[in-house]
Chain A
């Protein structure tokens, strides 16, 4: 079972952002060793059951479980004292009430003995019910500013989510598309962490004006690897 073996060889890469040393985890999380802080974005917990409840589309009801297990691996690896979930943690306002009991217990277990901060997102403007943790609309820690939706006005050290960035490269007539972290010298946007979350190409209009194009760079996530790719190589 090569697939399993690969997961154990998870190969994070170290990067510099706003003079801070950060680690990009191929699973889609960001670790800040100085603060022992782990960031994930757009978990979209209970997205599967949301489709069932609102549209009669019965996606496999295992997405929350899958997402939490991936998060558990990150927490085991990095042992953070603080976890920031950067908004859209729950797919809709009633998602936290739909959490299966087993998932609720698992989540509480992950939250135990560490600070847990839910940053609000457009999908979850209110704090989750009966889950715990701190709730806020944005958060400043040292040089970095954590918020769900990137601001239109440029702000130094902003770490955001919301857009689910994906990068695409083209070589010899073939294209490869992957979830990615994307940043210039001032701002960084995290990929969506949730199991059922799709992606939006960083060349989409939604990203217009967010980055200095010539400084743009993406960290593409593929299996256990992270590939740092120059913005110039990214295509629509």
Chain B
């Protein structure tokens, strides 16, 4: 047995205890326990919660479980007749698949050391019978997800179920904390601490910009005291990955996201490596890349496709083939982002813009599970701006810069869900629940007044018109505690619990029938596809899905029926932009690159030349400046600006600019936004208007647009309605749509848009509208980032009037026509449809 003192990454000498059986097991496998594993063991044995940041391949999972395995080995087995000890360790991961994977990895040491420890998973896929059994007869280690934890604590027996809980392990913490799932989890964690004040937490994370945010997350916060932090074990990241940008002899396109030009070179790279992982940002890009590679796959290399919309069975087959090293390449979206073990990948190819330096590092980390060998990655930019973005990400990797976004405060809709869940577990005192809630880091600054509003909202909807008192969901008892007014609400809670709101999806079913047969039935399911996408097609249209070209035959109930098509030019899903906007850090780096010709040497010559011509014909703005160009083209006039703040913030800015231009009678017609720039076009000569003082850039971009203009626009914005729908669903105002139950007729449900309109005109300060605005500020509208940009560039706007389009403007100009403005466009479509009627008559 080893009982020693070690010094590694920490400054302290930490005592730890590792039983002989573990020592023997390590050496039998030819290993030695690593310093960070022992350090984490020491902290946990001292009763301290700890954050472990370590690169992939460093034995992070084993490090996380080691303290529990050691302690459970030391706990004597219960004698016959003695009550079982219940759950000792709860492991929570963002992915169901990860829980399953971890179970497999944990069973190895447990079996090899013959430890008396039971490990089980509990996810949405776990059969009801097993879940029931787990409640009566729980394993010592339970592997589960945030949603399952929420369900477990909303149970009457929760405190007994967790009475022996000792440790909670939170895996992939960096990805959990950024979402509403993270908020739900943080509230669950606080509840567990109420049951077990001595509870220890272990957070496992990839490298992030601000580790202290995660350290706060792991320990209870006290509003009156200083910020509390957990212990921290940081293993600096092994060998630095070798990243390069694909050196292509082909012409790099101005715009677009397909990177088709680079396919032969990507294929050559696949041929030279054992197994290549190809990452893209969206599902449609994955489909396209897969198709392109097979078009040139002369050696018929086994190349597979993997994304979240494919049928589960098909995904499992790909994963299995991957583990057997039977594949040479796999095209994937973020479904493979998280730490599942993926055989021997020796090359990662990232097609398209990386969007963030940390994001890229995490993806590349996937490729190599041996810490001491460098991972190898190639970036393939799809257009010229992406070349600069890739270069910036590459530089960031070299300096080890991190750009994970700062965490946001806990959202109110999630809190409402939690309050109802609390009542499902039994009567609660508002004061105690409030104290519990503010002990979790995301809600540490929540004031009591807001909390009370949420409780009122849960009880009767929180309206100033008190008409629902008699139907209250939770009621106050004489002793001041709140109880559920009817048990059926607990059942409804269980059906609506969780924070993931998925777009309605249809099954894609393969059929042999074609044309106007009325009855389509059965057929194998290829996967799921978004309803909105299928709705934009007409029968006979072709698209790529699951690596095949398919022809839409019919939509019936919750399925869309497709047949195999041979068309060479399918109508593919339109690129919806990545889910993630360009990170603030990378944007700043790209602006810096643009301003400094010295840095162009690292870029491909054609990109350098492009910037040279821009400098000649127009202006290259300094790093802190905002360039605005105006020029005529065809019978229209254009205004282009280059904020580099990401597509979401640009969309908002585009809307606001259009409104302002309308007000000064510049007669704008529309705009288009990319991650890098915005183009607005209209009928009047913008340059001339600026010359004669009718229009001023400083006024046009004044920060005050975030006041009234924003408010007025928000009132009509479909983006805000979408945000409201998510908030209202999570907060329980709208019940979820369940597959199969939708048939009862859409006219019977109440659309969230109608609710939004009524609520906004009658009670604009309602708590759910407040929650919606807070969400929108950093979500779909990215108002926060827009505000920062406007204040940064104040009086640093440079305007250049041009006779014709500038080189820098070409990419965004090429996007025009591919997208249109939503609001007005709908009216013009209706006008078109109506005028056709006249033609017919």
Contact A56 B836 (CB under 8 A): no
Contact B746 A171 (CB under 8 A): no
Which residue in B715, B733, B761, B826 is a CB contact (below 8 Å) of A176?
A: B826
Q: Which of A187-236 contact B (CB under 8 A)?
A: 192, 195-201, 206, 217, 220, 222-223, 225, 227-230, 233, 235-236
A53 contacts the other chain (CB 8 A):
yes
Contact A52 B468 (CB under 8 A): yes
Contact A59 B536 (CB under 8 A): no
Name 5 interchain pairs, CB-CB below 8 A, sorted by A. Answer: A60-B463, A170-B535, A170-B536, A200-B745, A229-B830
> Given known contacts A196-B754, A198-B751, A220-B830, is B716 in contact with A230 (CB within 8 Å)?
no
Contact A62 B465 (CB under 8 A): yes
> Given known contacts A171-B833, A222-B826, A228-B837, is B468 in contact with A49 (CB within 8 Å)?
yes
B300 contacts the other chain (CB 8 A):
no
Which residue in B489, B745, B762, B837 is a CB contact (below 8 Å) of A56?
A: B489
A5 to B193, CA, bound (A): 55
B486 contacts the other chain (CB 8 A):
yes
Chain A residues near B538 (CB-CB < 8 A): 170, 235
A63 contacts the other chain (CB 8 A):
yes
Contact A197 B467 (CB under 8 A): no
Chain B residues near A192 (CB-CB < 8 A): 747
Contact B733 A58 (CB under 8 A): yes
A150 to B676, CA, bound (A): 55
Contact A60 B574 (CB under 8 A): no
6 closest Cβ pairs, A-B complex: A58-B461, A164-B747, A227-B834, A62-B762, A60-B759, A227-B830
Q: Chain B, 802-828, contact with A by CB distance < 8 Å: what is the 0/1 string?
A: 000000000000000000100001110
Chain A residues near B536 (CB-CB < 8 A): 170, 173-175
B460 contacts the other chain (CB 8 A):
yes
Chain A residues near B463 (CB-CB < 8 A): 58, 60-61
Most buried by B among A58, A62, A195: A58
Q: How close is B761's CB to chain A, nearest CB, in angstroms?
A: 7
Contact B827 A198 (CB under 8 A): no
B829 contacts the other chain (CB 8 A):
yes
Chain A residues near B834 (CB-CB < 8 A): 220, 227-229
B840 contacts the other chain (CB 8 A):
yes
> Given known contacts A169-B833, A217-B837, A222-B827, is B758 in contact with A198 (CB within 8 Å)?
no
Chain A residues near B820 (CB-CB < 8 A): 174
Chain B residues near A235 (CB-CB < 8 A): 538
A47 contacts the other chain (CB 8 A):
yes
A170 to B831, CA, bound (A): 12
> Given known contacts A52-B468, A58-B463, A62-B465, is B829 in contact with A169 (CB within 8 Å)?
yes
Contact B761 A198 (CB under 8 A): no
Q: Which of A33-70 contact B (CB under 8 A)?
A: 47, 49, 51-53, 55-63, 65-66
Contact A174 B467 (CB under 8 A): no
Contact B761 A66 (CB under 8 A): yes
A97 to B837, CA, bound (A): 46
B293 contacts the other chain (CB 8 A):
no
Q: How close is B689's CB to chain A, nearest CB, in angstroms?
A: 23
Contact B468 A61 (CB under 8 A): yes
B832 contacts the other chain (CB 8 A):
yes
Which residue in B462, B471, B747 is a CB contact (below 8 Å) of A163?
A: B747
A161 to B711, CA, bound (A): 37
Q: How close is B685's CB to chain A, nearest CB, in angstroms?
A: 26
Residue of B nearest to A49 (CB): B467
Chain B residues near A206 (CB-CB < 8 A): 745
> Given known contacts A60-B755, A227-B833, A227-B834, is B461 in contact with A198 (CB within 8 Å)?
no
Q: How close is A8's CB to chain B, nearest CB, in angstroms?
A: 16
B337 contacts the other chain (CB 8 A):
no
Residues of chain B having any CB pair with chain A under 8 Å:
460-463, 465, 467-468, 471, 473, 486, 488-489, 492, 535-536, 538, 555, 574, 712, 715-716, 732-735, 745-751, 754-755, 757-759, 761-763, 766, 820, 825-827, 829-834, 836-837, 840
A3 contacts the other chain (CB 8 A):
yes
A132 contacts the other chain (CB 8 A):
no
A227 to B836, CA, bound (A): 11
A27 contacts the other chain (CB 8 A):
no
A185 to B473, CA, bound (A): 50
Q: How close is A54's CB to chain B, nearest CB, in angstroms?
A: 9
A49 to B574, CA, bound (A): 42
Q: How close is B702's CB to chain A, nearest CB, in angstroms?
A: 21
Which residue in B461, B733, B746, B829 is a CB contact (below 8 Å) of A61?
A: B461
Residue of B nearest to A195 (CB): B758
Q: How close is B797's CB to chain A, nearest CB, in angstroms?
A: 28
Residue of B nearest to A226 (CB): B834
Chain A residues near B836 (CB-CB < 8 A): 229-230, 233
Chain A residues near B574 (CB-CB < 8 A): 173
A30 to B468, CA, bound (A): 34
Chain A residues near B758 (CB-CB < 8 A): 60, 62-63, 66, 195-196
Chain B residues near A59 (CB-CB < 8 A): 461, 733, 750, 755
> Given known contacts A56-B486, A60-B755, is B749 in contact with A198 (CB within 8 Å)?
yes
A66 to B555, CA, bound (A): 36
A153 contacts the other chain (CB 8 A):
no
Q: Which of A61-81 contact B (CB under 8 A)?
A: 61-63, 65-66
Most buried by B among A1, A66, A163: A66
Chain B residues near A55 (CB-CB < 8 A): 492, 735
> Given known contacts A195-B758, A227-B834, A236-B555, is B827 in contact with A61 (CB within 8 Å)?
no
Residue of B nearest to A165 (CB): B747
Chain B residues near A236 (CB-CB < 8 A): 555
Residue of B nearest to A53 (CB): B471
Chain A residues near B748 (CB-CB < 8 A): 198
A173 to B532, CA, bound (A): 10
A130 to B827, CA, bound (A): 43
Q: Which of A134-183 contact B (CB under 8 A)?
A: 163-164, 169-176, 178
Contact A199 B747 (CB under 8 A): yes
Contact A195 B826 (CB under 8 A): no
Contact B833 A233 (CB under 8 A): yes
Residue of B nearest to A201 (CB): B746
> Given known contacts A60-B461, A61-B465, A198-B754, is B747 in contact with A225 (CB within 8 Å)?
no
Chain B residues near A62 (CB-CB < 8 A): 465, 758-759, 761-763
A1 to B713, CA, bound (A): 10
Which residue in A2, A65, A223, A229 is a CB contact (below 8 Å) of B833?
A: A229
A201 to B742, CA, bound (A): 14
A225 to B748, CA, bound (A): 25
A164 to B747, CA, bound (A): 6
Chain B residues near A220 (CB-CB < 8 A): 830, 833-834
Most buried by B among A56, A63, A65: A56
A233 to B838, CA, bound (A): 13
Q: How close is A59's CB to chain B, nearest CB, in angstroms?
A: 6
A47 to B749, CA, bound (A): 10
Contact B746 A200 (CB under 8 A): yes
Chain B residues near A171 (CB-CB < 8 A): 829, 832-833
Chain B residues near A172 (CB-CB < 8 A): 829
A95 to B711, CA, bound (A): 36
Chain B residues near A198 (CB-CB < 8 A): 746-751, 754
> Given known contacts A196-B754, A200-B746, is B829 in contact with A174 (CB within 8 Å)?
yes
A44 to B837, CA, bound (A): 33
Q: How close is B751's CB to chain A, nearest CB, in angstroms?
A: 5
13 new A-B contacts at CB < 8 Å, known A56-B471, A174-B820, A195-B757? A3-B716, A49-B468, A52-B461, A56-B473, A57-B732, A170-B536, A171-B829, A172-B829, A176-B830, A198-B749, A200-B745, A228-B837, A236-B555
Chain A residues near B755 (CB-CB < 8 A): 59-60, 196
A56 to B484, CA, bound (A): 11
A52 to B712, CA, bound (A): 31
> Given known contacts A47-B750, A58-B460, is B830 in contact with A222 (CB within 8 Å)?
yes
Q: How close is A17's CB to chain B, nearest CB, in angstroms?
A: 16
A195 to B760, CA, bound (A): 13
Contact A195 B754 (CB under 8 A): yes
